[in-house]
Amino acid sequence: VDLETCCGTPNLENGNRVKVLVDSERCQGHARCITFLPEVLETDDLGYSHVKGAGEVPPELEDRARRAVANCPEQAITTVDE
């Protein structure tokens, strides 16, 4: 964890922010994850998943983000709490 980023976060009262990461080397492109989290994940022309923008997950979508992680057969998706 980058301490400067961590400790400099101004919105701690709102709780941690969650980001989704997709490991492009693991992703096999079956797009299961998209069904759980289309707001944050999208596929490219070849069907491989990647995050939209910075991959930040709105608090109301965190449960679905964790389901996307749990349902990726390649363990290609991770979440990080910032």
Q: At residue 52, what is the residue type?
A: K
Told to check if 29 binds ligand SF4 by CB under 6 A, we report yes
Taking Cα atoms as reference points, which of 77, 81, 56, 62 lies closest to residue 6? 81
CA distances from 23 to 27, 28, 29, 43, 70 (A): 6, 10, 11, 13, 14
Told to check if 22 binds ligand SF4 by CB under 6 A, we report yes
Closest approach of ligand SF4 to the CB of residue 50, in Å: 9
Q: Which stretch binds ligand SF4 (CB under 6 A): 3-11, 12-20, 25-33, 55-63?
A: 25-33
Closest approach of ligand SF4 to the CB of residue 82, in Å: 20
